[in-house]
Structure 1
Amino acid sequence: MLTDTLIKLFKRDLNKLKDEVRAYTNEANLWLVTEGISNSAGNLSLHLVGNLNHFIGATLGNSGYVRRRDLEFSLKNVPRSEMMRQIDETLIMIETVLPQLSDTDLEKEYRRNPFEDYMTTEYFLVHLTTHLTYHLGQINYHRRLLDTDN
């Protein structure tokens, strides 16, 4: 079933996100921005956690999570330990919500807003995996460019 594959992908990449956050030699560098790089690795990490908890946890799992998207990009200097805790909680949410989805659930229409084109829940979940990997790549590149002692 597709949900088994999605769980494996989300777990793989959320664990890789934890590896990336841990790999910063200077925790403050998680929050660096520079010309041409407008989002820090810290903010991208908060964005990924917020995105998944909103679209999977709250929307599909009725978790009660309330997203504050503006804070995903405006908060700064969140301790690494807090970010790791949030990623761990997101992993637990994924492992709790996705196994509950049936094939019928995956075939249902999923709309983030009323003006959006038709898509299935299955399509949107696959989209969320690619969204995660896109930002994960940005975080990896951010770390290799800006996590220096210069």
Structure 2
Amino acid sequence: MKLSEINLLFHRDLDRLKKEVEAYAREEDLWVIIPGTSNSGGNLTLHLLGNLQAFVGLDLGNIPYTRDREREFGARDIPRKELLDEIDLVKGIIGRSLTQLNPQELEKISPHHFFGYEMSQGYFLIHLYGHFNYHLGQINYHRRMINPG
């Protein structure tokens, strides 16, 4: 895996996230929870941004960050502009973290054992990319359910 390529993928999909947030017809629709679901598009956006800042920015880039999962899943009515600004901030954090990272760091064992087994930093980075796109798809679905047609 080339760090420059994973950096491009994260940047491409952070741009897609930005387009999803911009595509909600009404700002308040970002915070609607559809019956049968647990999270709004706005909360999923905050979750993705917190996740990347913690696991890429802090862990790989040594960029200070204190994660606030309560905010990720509990905040409401954050203005769209703030979400868009935070997406841009995270794009910069991802770029700085991945471009300065020594590729040999990807071979090291990740300090995270979410799956019950050891994994390399590279493996975990690929997992984070998949996690990002899983939730990006949920945001797209949420937006289309809130704003059909």
Q: Return the alpha-carbon distance in structure 1 between the equivalents of residues 138 and 34 of structure 2.
A: 14
Range that drifts further, 100-109 or 136-145: 100-109
Gaps of 5+ in 2: none
Q: Return the alpha-carbon distance in structure 2 between the equivalents of residues 134 and 112 of structure 1.
A: 20
Alignment: residue pair count: 149
SS at match of 1:43: helix
Q: CA deviation at 1:121?
A: 0.5
- After superposition, the C-alpha distances for 1:57-91 in whole angstroms (9 at most, x for unaligned) are 11111111100112100000000000001100000
Q: Which amino acid aligns with 2:50?
A: G
Q: Return the alpha-carbon distance in structure 1 between the equivalents of residues 131 and 14 of structure 2.
A: 12
Q: Which residue of 1 aligns with 2:101?
A: 101
Q: Which residue of 1 aligns with 2:51?
A: 51
| Equivalence map 1:1-150=2 (5 Å) | 2-113=2-113, 116-147=116-147
Gaps of 5+ in 1: none
The TM-score, its normalising length taken from structure 1, stands at 0.94
Q: Return the alpha-carbon distance in structure 2 between the equivalents of residues 17 and 29 of structure 1.
A: 15
Q: For residues 139 and 91 of structure 1, do their structure 2 counterparts lie closer, same or farther at Cα, with a shift above 3 Å needed?
A: same
SS at match of 1:112: coil
Q: Return the alpha-carbon distance in structure 2 between the equivalents of residues 133 and 80 of structure 1.
A: 20
Q: CA deviation at 1:116?
A: 3.6
Q: Return the alpha-carbon distance in structure 1 between the equivalents of residues 70 and 112 of structure 2.
A: 17
- After superposition, the C-alpha distances for 1:86-126 in whole angstroms (9 at most, x for unaligned) are 10000001110101222210100002259841100000111
Asked if structure 1 preserves the Cα contact closer than 8 Å seen for 2:34 and 2:142, the reply is no
How much is the aligned-residue C-alpha RMSD, in angstroms?
1.7
Range that drifts further, 137-146 or 95-104: 95-104
Q: Return the alpha-carbon distance in structure 2 between the equivalents of residues 92 and 98 of structure 1.
A: 10
Q: Which amino acid aligns with 1:83?
A: L
